[in-house]
Copies of this chain bind each other. A is one copy, B any other.
């Protein structure tokens, strides 16, 4: 369900094709909700079947043709409804394989485990760099905006029909999501370092 509404939400910004939606996912939503292409195509099909989006094929000469999706009034209504009815709980079912391995950490030798914690830290540091890059990008909102520039005239005409949209309004909310990523990364790094210290002072 969430993927469905994430796609609908993105389509309220501008009409897009599946491949392009995937790009947007990878550069903005990815750090709290990832999607892969086949899933997006599948979902777009389902959305069109429901009448929440409409598609047109945009022929191209040098590139494969594109299927551009535009959100319908029903789609907008469905998205608004979904946003309105926030879930009773924000606690999401956690699936963290790394933690399962740590839970059974007594069955591994210390050096290997410390190495894993170190790898864990390195990954969060890299993750932070990535997030910080996104933050800088979003300050000039080049993310979606640059992408926007690439839209063809045909797509732009569709866009004008489909939305009244300014990036400035979205900025604070996008920043919120990025900030959380930084905070939790920091917390995880601090945690892992403490774990290493504790392991090292053990006999």
Contact = CB atoms under 8 A, between A and B. Distances in A.
A92 interface: yes
Nearest to A198: B172
Q: Specify the main secondary structure of chain A where it touches its partner.
A: helix
Interface residue tally of chain A, by bracket?
35 or more
Q: Output the residue of A106, A119, A169, A176 with the most chain B CB within 10 A.
A: A176
29 contacts: A5-B100, A6-B100, A9-B103, A9-B104, A9-B107, A12-B107, A29-B100, A32-B103, A33-B94, A33-B97, A34-B93, A34-B94, A79-B107, A83-B108, A84-B108, A87-B97, A87-B98, A90-B119, A92-B98, A102-B173, A104-B173, A105-B176, A106-B169, A176-B198, A179-B194, A184-B184, A184-B188, A184-B191, A186-B187
